[in-house]
Amino acid sequence: MSDILVTGASGFIGKFLILALVKKGHRVFALFRKPTEQFPQLIAWLATKGVTEAQIVPIQGDLSVANVGISEESWQKMANVSVIYHSAAMFGWNLSEQQARQVNVKGVLELLTLAQQKLSLKQVVQVSGYMLTMTEHLQKLGIEGLAEHANWSKIYQQVGVYE
pLDDT at 112: 96
For the cut 70, the answer to whether the pLDDT of residue 8 exceeds it is yes
Percent of the chain with pLDDT over 90: 61
Average of pLDDT values for 48-69?
92
The residues spanned by each domain of the chain are 3-128, 131-163
Can you say whether the dihedral through the CA atoms of 104, 105, 111, 116 is positive or negative? positive
pLDDT digits (tens, 9 = 90+) for 60-101: 999 999 999 999 999 999 999 999 999 988 777 777 778 777
Q: Lay out the sheet containing 27-32: strands in order across.
A: 56-60, 27-32, 3-7, 81-86, 123-126
Q: Is 22 buried (19+), middle (13-18) or exposed (0-12) by CB count in 10 A?
A: buried
Mean pLDDT to the nearest integer, 154-161: 70
Residue 147: pLDDT above 60? yes
Fold of 3-128: Rossmann fold (3.40.50)
| Cβ proximity of 70 and 33 under 8 Å | no
